[in-house]
Amino acid sequence: MSQDQTTQPLQAVETIAQAEQLLTRHYNTTIKLGSGEDLGGSQRSKVYRCPVLEGADILAPSVIVKQASQPDGTPLTQVHPLFLNEWASLQFIQSLSPEEPLAPKFYAGDRELGLFIMEDLGTGSQLNHTLLGSDPGLAETALVEYAALHGRLHALSAGKQAAYTAIRTALGPMEDSEYFQYSWLQTQMEKILTTLNVQPEPGIAQELQTLQMALTNPGPFLAFMQGDACPDNVIQTQHGMRMVDFEGGMYTHALLEGAYGRVPFPTCRCLYRIPEDIVQRMEARYRTELSQGCPAASDDTLFQHGLIEASISWVLGFHTMVPLDIILPQDRFIMALTDRQRYLLFFENAARLTESYGYMKAIGNTLYALAQKMRLLWPDTEEPPYYPAFQPELPILVSEAK
């Protein structure tokens, strides 16, 4: 490193020095990095942004260095599987579209050091910033581009699970997620029905079994999923929108992310309603992109059924994150919508979708009955508002001169 690092913690200096050496070996030319900006990271890793002082013709003007660490910031040898997921995901996604990247470019990694280096996308605007802004046209364009980006990822990754698995298992063993086995669907539905004292529609048990089978065996819709497709995990750069954060990256049912505009954004905190016409534009663009690598997406019935299956899974999955008995005594607000507003939005959106396409109507009618019961119990809960970008501007009142 060519500039003074004495003001940085020793661990940061050592990590950046290791990254510099790794890049120099990988590209067989001298790479020099500047002092790293600590981006915080998490309890699993430390993250630094470093300017590239020498080697900028090979790399981006700055890079992100990520090293697995313990909560106290010291390196660890037992690397968390989520850290390895992101490493493998970036490496795999780069192989899908090297000329038109979908995510930060992966540069190099060292498994023994628990460290990898990727492109720094800079401080471009995140999708959530646009949605929280005041330009509805810009927000609509960004949402449609978001949908296209995920459709493209799913299309390019279809049929290539073995390639991802080879990259991931070379880094360490993969962990099976119990959540994505969906054995909890029946249990969660029963808990919700019992909590609200609502009788299910006849045929719901069979539909839940069909749902579990469809989600665990997605057939032609098996594709690589970002894993946390929230608005703050996509960044608008000067070269187009890119995804970040792949700790949850995995192969599963593509429509789980294809339905993110419909539910909407079920794993995200920054959640408001999206106008229906924009949701339809998002789904149409997503479907167009997906069909390039997944011809089944061109079939109306298959696509609509997949959309419904994904939406219902997120609705019931929300109960695993925020059980109803937590918010029955009192609503809870973290940011954007309250938890009661989220329940109403998710349940009613999914119920309308089943009615529109005539699929899984026993589940849909049950979700509608549950939503009606929630409205009776929560009469003061306001309608979920739209994202600020889609809310009408209030008129400016000018007082008359006396």
Separation between Cα atoms, residue 283 and residue 262, nearest integer Å: 8
Cis ω on the peptide bond leading into residue 264 (within 30° of 0)? Answer: yes
Which residue ranges in the chain fall short of pLDDT 70?
A: 1-8, 71-77, 393-402
The residue written with tokens 């940061």 in the block is 12
Supply the pLDDT for residue 341. 96
Supply the pLDDT for residue 76. 64
Taking the whole predicted model, whether its pTM rises above 0.75 is answered as yes
Segment 124-135, tens digit of pLDDT: 889 999 999 999
Q: Is 113:68 a contact under the CB 8 Å cutoff?
A: no
How is residue 162 written in tokens?
Answer: 């073995």
Residue 46 burial (10 A CB sphere; 0-12, 13-18, 19+)? buried
Torsion angle defined by CA atoms of residues 351, 352, 358 and 364, in that order, rounded to the nearest 10 degrees:
10
Separation between Cα atoms, residue 105 and residue 117, nearest integer Å: 9
Separation between Cα atoms, residue 173 and residue 244, nearest integer Å: 23
Of 173, 65, 198, nearest in space to 119 by CA:
65
Domains and CATH numbers, the chain: 13-119 (3.30.200.20), 125-389 (3.90.1200)
Supply the pLDDT for residue 278. 97
Cβ atoms within 10 Å of 391's Cβ, excluding its own: 13
Cβ atoms within 10 Å of 382's Cβ, excluding its own: 11
Helix (H) or strand (E) holding 54: strand 45-54
**From the CA atom positions of the chain, what is the Rg in Å?**
23
Supply the pLDDT for residue 133. 94
